[in-house]
């Protein structure tokens, strides 16, 4: 079995005898990794960046190393960096700014705007095909709260305090539901078996210590302390605590109107905001998230669909990923980010950009992308709609 490396061990390879950052070791590792795959973190580690890092204080140099640890430890990284605290986006802007622009395809100046005005009745999947009636539609936003470290650099105590702060919020924010904690000894602690049941329903996140991106970057440290999930009584609204971001605010709706899942998500988000929590925001980048891919809106919206023809019975998932990418979408397996697709080519499809677009545009892009993707699935089925993609 593949074993995961934790940040404190992994980072030692990039320190000198005195424990200071050794940039030559970092450079050598990026060069080695570049032969396999060039992540954005690798690409933007330029000689000019190295010069800037040399001018930073010792402690900021250590932070800079922490930011790169996910990329340095994983040869399959496409991004490879995580912020460790909200200020990283300013202190290390010479490195992170161009990377963010490339990922979100930003040209020129962009200041993040928010717009939750998403029409109900417009982005309706049955308009694409009348069989797309009961589709699993999901949307989430990533959020972190002002004044706290981001998950890669929280210590155990901070993780536990954060969880308890959220438990107070859940007690008062007005939507009926229940909190389930993974923290040993917590008053809401659930058993491993109950946790697995929640995973089988695709509600709860996976054991974070099995993902080397999360362990090597420190995101998974102190697992399972300070981790848990709040679930609404009707099981359509959820809040993850202590995964990649302090909070992942989620809505899952079975139906065909993409606007309805937004409505549900926005209701949940507003409920939390009214409780007085202030989220970490950047004047340009919008909401601050651990991974630069989520900056801006922090919103990821997806549907689960089957694409047996484009994927040739699930044997060619690369093809679906490629086609999706050409439409500004991302396709992944249903078991989470790095999971594989099944024989029916079941995939989770979402727009990639989350910064420089509004919440409303994310939904529009998903809908418009799906029209094209559906068309391509029909073509791959030789024009026979009966044999093709049933989004479920």
241 is written with which tokens? 């605590």
Minimum CB distance to ligand ARG smaller for 78 or for 340 = 78
Binding to ligand ARG, residues 61-90 (CB under 6 A): 70, 77-80
Site for ligand ARG in 226-255 (CB under 6 A): 244
Q: Tell me: is residue 281 an annotated ligand-binding position.
A: no
Asked if 352 and 284 touch (Cβ cutoff 8 Å), the reply is no
Strand pairing category for 237-241 and 247-255: antiparallel
Query: Is 49 annotated as contributing to ligand binding?
Result: no
Q: In the complex, what is the shortest distance from the CB of residue 340 to ligand ARG, in angstroms, rounded to a whole number? A: 16
Q: Residue 190 gets which letter from DSSP?
A: -
For ligand ARG, how many residues bind (rule: CB under 6 A)? 11
325: its two tokens: 């990418």
The site string for ligand ARG over 207-226 (x = CB under 6 A, - otherwise) reads ------x-------------
Q: Considering beta carbons, is residue 140 or 225 the nearer one to ligand ARG? A: 140
Tell which positions 131-150 bind ligand ARG, by CB under 6 A.
none
Determine if residue 330 is labeled as part of a ligand binding site.
no
d(Cα 162, Cα 308) in Å, to the nearest integer? 43
- Closest approach, Cβ 142 to ligand ARG, in A, equals 9
Name every residue whose Cβ is closer than 8 Å to that of residue 161 and which is 6 or more positions away in sequence: none
Taking CB atoms, the residue at the shortest distance from ligand ARG is 291
Q: What residues between 326 and 345 interact with ligand ARG by CB under 6 A?
A: 337
The β-bridge relationship of strands 346-351 and 281-282 is unpaired
Least CB distance from residue 73 to ligand ARG, whole Å?
A: 10
* Concatenated DSSP letters of 295-352: TBT-EEEEEEEE-TTTTTTTT-HHHHHHHHHHTTEEEE-TTSTTPPP-TT-EEEEEES
Q: Are strands 247-255 and 346-351 parallel, antiparallel or unpaired?
A: unpaired
What is the Cα–Cα distance from 234 to 74, expressed in whole angstroms? Answer: 39
Query: Smallest gap, in angstroms, from Cβ of residue 11 to ligand ARG?
Result: 16
Cis peptide bond prior to 224, omega within 30° of 0: yes
137 known ligand binder: yes
Q: Is 264 annotated as a binding residue?
A: no
293 binds ligand ARG (CB under 6 A): yes
Of the pair 177, 298, the CB lying nearest ligand ARG is at 298
Residues lying near ligand ARG in the complex (CB under 6 A):
39, 70, 77-80, 213, 244, 291, 293, 337
The annotation places the binding site for ATP at: 136-140, 202, 248, 300-304, 332-337
């Amino acid at each position: 079995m593949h074993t995961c490396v934790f940040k404190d061990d992994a980072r030692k390879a990039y320190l000198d005898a005195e424990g200071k950052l050794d940039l030559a070791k970092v450079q050598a590792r990026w060069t080695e990794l570049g032969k396999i795959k060039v992540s954005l973190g690798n690409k933007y580690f330029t000689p000019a960046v190295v010069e800037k890092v040399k001018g930073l204080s010792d402690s900021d140099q250590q932070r800079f190393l922490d930011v790169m640890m996910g990329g340095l430890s994983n040869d399959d990284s496409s991004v490879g960096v995580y912020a460790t605290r909200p200020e990283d986006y300013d202190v290390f802007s010479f490195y992170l700014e161009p990377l963010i622009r490339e990922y979100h395809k930003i040209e020129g100046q962009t200041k993040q705007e928010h717009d939750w005005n998403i029409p109900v009745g417009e982005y309706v999947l049955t308009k694409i095909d009348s069989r797309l009636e009961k589709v699993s539609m999901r949307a989430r936003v990533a959020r972190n709260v002002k004044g706290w470290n981001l998950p890669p650099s929280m210590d155990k105590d901070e993780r536990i305090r954060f969880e308890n702060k959220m438990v107070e919020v859940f007690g008062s924010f007005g939507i009926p539901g229940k909190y389930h904690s993974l923290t040993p000894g917590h008053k809401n602690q659930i058993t491993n078996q109950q946790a697995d049941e929640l995973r089988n329903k695709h509600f709860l996140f996976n054991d974070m210590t099995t993902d080397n991106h999360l362990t090597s970057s420190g995101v998974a440290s102190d697992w399972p302390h300070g981790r848990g999930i709040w679930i609404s009584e009707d099981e359509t609204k959820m809040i993850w605590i202590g995964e990649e971001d302090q909070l992942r605010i989620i809505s899952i709706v079975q139906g065909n109107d993409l606007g309805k899942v937004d409505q549900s998500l926005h209701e949940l988000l507003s409920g939390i905001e009214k409780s007085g929590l202030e989220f970490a925001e950047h004047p340009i980048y919008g909401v601050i998230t651990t991974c630069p891919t989520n900056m801006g809106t922090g919103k990821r919206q997806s549907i689960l669909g089957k694409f047996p023809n484009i994927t040739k019975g699930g044997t060619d998932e690369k093809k679906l990923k490629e086609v999706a990418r050409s439409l500004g979408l991302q396709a992944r397996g249903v078991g989470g980010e790095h999971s594989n697709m099944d024989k029916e080519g079941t995939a989770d499809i979402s727009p990639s950009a989350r910064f420089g677009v509004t919440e409303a545009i994310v939904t529009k892009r998903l809908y418009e992308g799906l029209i094209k993707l559906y068309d391509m699935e029909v073509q791959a089925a030789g024009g026979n709609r009966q044999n093709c993609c049933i989004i479920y």
